[in-house]
Amino acid sequence: MMRSDKPLRGRFAPTPSGKLHLGNAMTALLAWLQMRAAGGEIVLRMEDLDRQRCKPELAALLLTELKWLGLDWDEGPDIGGPHAPYEQSRRTGRYALALAELACQGRIYPCYCSRADLQGAVHAPHGLASEGPAYPGTCRALTADEREERARRKTPSLRFAMSETAIYRFRDGIAGELTYSGGAGGDFVVKRADGIVAYQLAVVTDDIEMGISDVLRGWDLLDSTPRQLALYEAMGSPPPRFAHSPLLLGEDGSRLSKRHGSVSLSDIRESLGVRPQRLVGFMAWLAGLRDRIEETTPGELVSTFDLSSVRRQAVTLPDDWMDLLKGNARSGPIDE
């Protein structure tokens, strides 16, 4: 059963491994609008567990860019709050406790497979798009002696054992009613061999502790939801309500990247000279909240925000999107 109690609390949880790009900015705007329209609170959390990729200067830039857009938050790394710290790199003790709890339940096990082993499992069924091929369960049934022998040669990762018979049903606030088989994605890593806690465990642990009632995030994370539902169940907590916003695609139909031009907020505001009100209006048009591009602020969108208006399909940026953004072309229908 999805969470239905109050207070309403949402979050935006960027990874500071690069500049904030247009697609993530639109998701942040929608997550903010969902909570502000409902009178709820919003939490900003930095998902910076991978310290090799995540940089403090990029985290600082993310805060600057979100504020430039006109977004604010009730708790976060810059203002604190009752659930501090709000950087995952400073919350590793909490993840260790969660892993210990799952170990006591017998829900996790060591995995000694290498990347080559997993790539060689060509006959394994394909799993969740965001997590790669389904793990074939190679190490799940190892005996204690076999684990001891393999541990002499390799530090293991830790995997969460998914039930092969479980069925996960939930109503996504944008995608609608969805059903997943528990075994479809296979057992998944909750702690890497290098000691870094994996995304699935960290995000569920944090959302439970921070009392998150509603999660609005990108469509690319939709098929991670059944794994997180399994973790909520194992950790004895009702899950939040989920909503997954549409992906923004480049003119060639692929995920937004540097090859599509000035897609980061830094480039848009510095190189293109776009005002934040214009960018907010552009994102509202892309998301389906407005039928044309008009300068506006996030606050001006709150009174008319309706989650059912958000597009359910990926949005392809038109060829002239930079001209549209700069006001040098007229907006028309969105290709989905």
Residue 322, pLDDT > 90, answer no
Per-residue pLDDT, 135 = 85
- Which residue numbers are catalytic? 258
User: What is the spatial distance between Cα 63 and Cα 20, in angstroms, rounded to a whole number?
Assistant: 10
Tell me: do 19 and 32 sit in the same domain. Answer: yes
Classify residue 152: in a domain, yes or no. Answer: yes
According to DSSP H, which parts of the chain are helical?
A: 22-37, 56-69, 92-104, 115-119, 144-151, 199-209, 225-234, 265-270, 276-287, 298-301, 321-326
**How many independent structural domains does the chain possess?**
2
Tell me: do 68 and 165 sit in the same domain. Answer: no
State the greatest distance between any 2 C-alpha atoms of the chain, in Å, as a whole number.
69
Per-residue pLDDT, 331 = 60
Classify residue 156: in a domain, yes or no. Answer: yes
Asked if residue 326 lies in contact with residue 274, where contact means CB atoms within 8 angstroms, the answer is yes
If you average pLDDT over residues 190-216, what whole number do you get? 95
Tell me: do 195 and 122 sit in the same domain. Answer: yes
What tens digit of pLDDT does each residue of 26-73 get? 999 999 999 999 999 999 999 999 888 899 999 999 999 999 999 999
User: What is the spatial distance between Cα 331 and Cα 324, in angstroms, rounded to a whole number?
Assistant: 6
Per-residue pLDDT, 106 = 95
Percent of the chain with pLDDT over 90: 70
Tell me: do 107 and 192 sit in the same domain. Answer: yes
Tell me: do 18 and 73 sit in the same domain. Answer: yes
Structural domain containing residue 165: 92-199
C-alpha distances in Å from residue 24, one per residue of 42, 110, 256, 265: 16, 34, 10, 10
* Least confident segment among 24-28, 90-94, 256-260: 256-260
Model confidence at 159, in pLDDT bands (50, 70, 90)? very high
Instruction: Give me the CATH number covering residue 277.
Output: 3.40.50.620
Per-residue pLDDT, 123 = 37
Parallel, antiparallel, or unpaired for β 176-181 and 167-172? antiparallel
